[in-house]
Each structure stands twice: as C-alpha cells, then as structure tokens.
Amino acid sequence: MSTGTLHPLAEEYLDRLERAAEQHLPRARRRELVDDIEAHLAEALGPDPSDAEVLTALDRLGEPDEIVAAEAPRPAPEPDPRGVHEWGAIILLLLGGFVFVVGWIAGLILLWSSRAWNTRDKLIGTLFWPGGLAVASWLGAAYLIQSTEVCVQLEGQPDQCYGDSGSVLDLVPLALAVIVPFATAIYLARRARRR
C-alpha cells in the first residue's frame, strides 16, 4: 500500500490500482507496479497539489484497470497445428495425382499419420476426390477428345465428320473434379487449425 504522504485522491487511485492488480498480476509484479505509479505521482504532483492538479495527473495515467491490463501477461498464442506435415498432406492430396498417383498416395500417408485431424476428417480427405486435380485434367482431356469433330473430305464425296460436340452435361463431372478437391483442401486446412 501507499505511504500516506500523497493527496487523498492519489491514495484512493493507488488503492484501486492495487485491487485491480490483485486479480491479474503476481505479487512481486503488482508491488512493483504500484510502487512505480506511486513514485510517479509523488514526483508529478509535488508537496501540496490542488485537487485539479491531482485529477489531471490521474487522468493522464488512465484507469487502473487499463494499466493492469497493459501489464498483465498475455497468454502465448497457440501454435498453428498445420505444420509441414499437414501442409504436405493437403498439397499432395490436391496435386499429387499428377506424379503418377504416387504423390496422392504420399498425401494419404501424411494425412493418416497426422494428429491434426480426426478420423472423419481423414475419411473426407481420402474419399473426396481420389487423385485430386489430376482426375480433372484426365476428364478435361477426355471431354476435349470426345467433343472434337474430325471431318474428312474424300474426292467426289461429301465431307465425312466423326465425333460430336459434346453436351453441357458432360462438363458436370469435370466441374466436380475441380471443385471437390479444392473444397476438401480448404476443409482440411480449416479443420486442422481448429484442433
């Protein structure tokens, strides 16, 4: 507590500061803070300050709760559970199919060996969409081949055309093969962060 040589308004302020600090600061830090503020007030106010001078000095210091909040130890931020292992799993599940499907299988191994996801998350990562974006590229190539129309002109005969232009419904599997792997990657990234 204070020495009793300060103005009554300053004494009351220090008591409020002490009470606020009791809940949030260890005893040694609390004592140090109150002593520092008391020394500051004694120096700033001089031997016989007026009420107005004391109120101005206290106003400049701010509320005791604010001072204590600024001094209270902050909890350490939780580390991001998505380390190299988890990011590797997400990227390989998305793009690993381009490496002769071996990359996607490596992504599965990383997914299932990580503790960042529960079993449901791992099943979603495995089943939605096997092969990742490589399947979309294969479907896109198949759609282009199917929708390519080749015309042959033989002498004296009308043009012979083969193939068809394809339909819009043929694009649905292709769209799903692009959207679902991205949605799964986003889902896994978010779920790993929450755990």
Task: Write out pLDDT tens, residues 151-180.
Answer: 667 777 776 666 565 666 777 888 888 899
Within this chain, do residues 60 and 101 fall inside the same structural domain, yes or no? no
Query: Of 3 and 89, which is predicted with more confidence?
Result: 89
For residue 53, is it within any domain? Answer: yes
Within this chain, do residues 12 and 53 fall inside the same structural domain, yes or no? yes
Domain carrying residue 96: 84-194
The single-letter code of the amino acid at 47 is: P
Determine which of 8-12, 41-45, 140-144, 158-162 has the lowest per-residue pLDDT on average. 158-162
Q: How many CB atoms lie within 10 A of CB 106?
A: 16
**Residue 5: which of 33, 46, 37, 53 has the closest Cα?**
46
Within this chain, do residues 178 and 138 fall inside the same structural domain, yes or no? yes
Alpha helices (H) along the chain: 8-24, 27-45, 51-61, 64-71, 84-95, 102-113, 119-127, 133-147, 171-194
Residue 152, beta-bridge partner list: 160
For residue 189, is it within any domain? Answer: yes
Last residue within a domain, chosen from 34, 49, 71: 71
Using an 8 Å Cβ cutoff, are 85 and 110 in contact? yes
**pLDDT at position 125:** 92
Going by pLDDT thresholds of 50, 70 and 90, the confidence category of residue 63 is very high
Query: Of 175 and 150, which is predicted with more confidence?
Result: 175
Q: What is the number of structural domains in the chain?
A: 2
For residue 133, is it within any domain? Answer: yes
Tokens representing 60?
């400049």
Going by pLDDT thresholds of 50, 70 and 90, the confidence category of residue 78 is low
Secondary structure of residue 157 in the 3-state scheme: coil
**pLDDT at position 5:** 78
Within this chain, do residues 162 and 93 fall inside the same structural domain, yes or no? yes
Average pLDDT, the chain: 83
CA distance linking residue 177 with residue 170, whole number of Å: 12
